[in-house]
Amino acid sequence: MDILRFITAGSVDDGKSTLIGRLLYDSKNILTDQLEAIERQTKNKEQGTIDLALLTDGLRAEREQGITIDVAYKYFATPKRKFIIADAPGHIQYTRNMITGASNAQLIIILIDARSGVVEQTRRHSIIASLLKIPHVVVAVNKMDLVDYSQEVFFDIVNDYASVARSLDLPDVTFIPVSALDGDNIVESSKNIPWYEGAPLLELLERVELQNDVNLDNARFPVQYVIRPQTEALHDYRGYAGKITSGIYRKGEQVTVWPSGLSSTIQSIEIDGKEVAEAFTPQSAVLRLSDDIDNSRGDVIVPQSQQPTVDKEVETLIAWLDQKPLAVGNRYLLQHNSRVVPAVVQEIAYKLDVNTLERALGPQQVLLNEVVKIKLKTAAPLVYDSYAENKHNGSAILVDETSLVTVGAALLQ
């Protein structure tokens, strides 16, 4: 059994929370007491129906207003897979919450209301999926019951969306007609939609091939913590503890430690106190080197044959997450894996319209939920790859030095 982390995106009334509720309900992942709780809360009690959307809205304010404000995580499992759902709000005002939920997603379900087809929000969510390089996209055309389960309506939407997908280079897109409210094609194949020959949604989610997305090239090991027992028996023990964010490490391999640039050899790799011959992403491990070089938190150990970029200037896309605008000359802390360095905004190259992908050159400042390309200068070298090549070593956050809040998501170029 492995894990699929996915996010659901849709406009306000596309039935996103209902879809998740239906997925949990029909796959028998909702328990009696949870069901009783939402039965009590269901406001418009028609005979025998409950509001499945209530399953995901966790905060009092969300239940009161009937909207999703922040990401909620939901968990369910089938014998094949464990699923982690990030239920994120779809409205533009909450783009930052969606990006939070999407950053760890391996798959995105984009909901489209069959009656309205591809709309601005569909494009925006797809653009975010493309920027964040979510490997798999499932387009769920919902509310098929309201268009008489029409094959024509469905394929018109498929054709419309296909051109969006092409323009965004989305690699793996699957389409499925559903009715979340009635459960058509969610867990069971729908009798109302006989012309659809594909698998129902849950089966699609169980079948998506994930191992190909694991980055086994260009090994990166950011040091999080140095283990030094300093006991008599382990007087000279110095272990670099961290998580392999990509690739494979092998005992005896020649490595470089950045940003010092010093070379050494992997003397041993330990997992759970036991020596192993090799370790791979996403394992947490302890590396010990044969030379006594003074590494510390924030350093990156890489195989000599697989070098990253080491530079004090970096171009990056920024999704801006804060009320205070970003402007040229502003200083932030850049947190990149275990390394934190001060950074100054040197230049804002362009602003990306997240609804159309159009670029507006030379903006003066950047507002909440906007996406821009900027150039940063850092106080110490950054050891990185481009986000496109290596998600974990190409992503970072910007932190406001005074409020200490996370204000920007950086996709390094």
- Residues 43-82 binding another protein (CB under 8 A) are 57-61, 63, 69-75, 77, 81-82
Question: Three-state DSSP class for 153?
Answer: helix
Q: Is 388 in the site for another protein (CB under 8 A)?
A: no
Cβ distance to another protein smaller for residue 73 or 350? 73
111: which DSSP letter? E
Q: Is 248 in the site for another protein (CB under 8 A)?
A: yes
- Closest approach of another protein to the CB of residue 211, in Å: 6
Candidate list 114, 318, 399, 412; residue touching another protein; CB under 8 A: 399
Show the binding pattern over residues 273-292: x = contacts another protein (CB under 8 A), - = does not. Answer: x------x-xxx--------
- The residue range among 11-19, 139-147, 232-240, 347-355 that interacts with another protein, by the rule CB under 8 A, is 232-240
- The residue range among 106-114, 150-158, 208-216, 360-368 that interacts with another protein, by the rule CB under 8 A, is 208-216
Cβ distance to another protein smaller for residue 280 or 350? 280
Cβ distance to another protein smaller for residue 147 or 205? 205
Candidate list 272, 292, 329, 361; residue touching another protein; CB under 8 A: 272
Question: Three-state DSSP class for 318?
Answer: strand
Judge contact between 371 and 352, C-beta under 8 A.
Answer: yes
Of residues 94-123, which lie at the interface with another protein (CB under 8 A)?
Answer: 96-97, 99-100, 103-104
Q: Is 391 in the site for another protein (CB under 8 A)?
A: yes
Candidate list 169, 191, 209, 211; residue touching another protein; CB under 8 A: 211
Cβ distance to another protein smaller for residue 95 or 190? 95
All residues at 6 or more sequence positions from 197 whose CB lies less than 8 Å from its CB, including other chains: none
Cβ distance to another protein smaller for residue 256 or 395? 395
Candidate list 115, 148, 171, 214; residue touching another protein; CB under 8 A: 214
Strands (E), 200-308: 221-227, 239-243, 248-250, 254-258, 262-271, 274-276, 278-280, 284-289, 300-303
Of residues 307-346, which lie at the interface with another protein (CB under 8 A)?
Answer: 321, 333, 335-338
Cis, peptide link before residue 171, omega less than 30° from 0: no
First to last CA, the chain: 34
Cis, peptide link before residue 259, omega less than 30° from 0: yes
Distance CA 338, CA 300 (A): 9
Of residues 9-38, which lie at the interface with another protein (CB under 8 A)?
Answer: 31-34, 37
Distance CA 173, CA 388 (A): 19
Distance CA 343, CA 354 (A): 25
For tokens 């009590």, the residue is: 40
- Closest approach of another protein to the CB of residue 67, in Å: 13
- Closest approach of another protein to the CB of residue 97, in Å: 7
Q: In the beta sheet, which residues pair with residue 56?
A: none
Please tell me the total number of residues recorded for the chain in this structure: 413
The tokens of 354 are what? 């997240």
